[in-house]
Every structure is written in C-alpha cells, then in structure tokens.
Amino acid sequence: MSVVSEQGSSAALNQRIVSLQQEHHQLEETLAKEAARPMPDSLTIASLKRRKLAIKDELAALTES
C-alpha cells in the first residue's frame, strides 16, 4: 500500500471513530432525557442502549486494529 493511500485510510478510520464517538455521546444524552421523563418508554430506552452498545463494540474493534 502506498503512503498516500495509507494516510487516506488512516484519515478515514479516524473520521469514523470521531463520528461514532459523537453518536455515542448523543445517545447518552438522549437516554438521559428519556429516563428523566415522567413515564419513560422502556422500548425506546432498550433500543437506544442496544445502539449505544453496538457503537461501543465497533469503536473497540476499530481501536484494537
């Protein structure tokens, strides 16, 4: 692989990691807001938690490589 393509690949990887971190943070905020509601929707909370876990797993896989 050439140096240019390695740099492009690295930049794309870093961009993906930052994007996932931002989405993870947004999900945390959304979860907190939903949990603070008088009658939180348990299905919404479960869905948000699943997505948050999937992002965490993807981040772990990306940062290990």
- pLDDT of 9-56, one tens digit each? 899 999 999 999 999 999 999 999 999 999 999 999 999 999 999 999
pLDDT value of residue 9: 86
User: What distance in Å separates the CA atoms of residue 13 and residue 37, rounded to the nearest whole number?
Assistant: 36
pLDDT at 58 > cutoff 80: yes
* Upper half-sphere CA count for residue 55 (Cβ side, 13 Å): 19
Annotated domain spans of the chain: 3-64
pLDDT value of residue 5: 61
pLDDT at 2 > cutoff 60: no
User: What distance in Å separates the CA atoms of residue 45 and residue 41, rounded to the nearest whole number?
Assistant: 6
pTM for this one? 0.81
pLDDT value of residue 42: 96
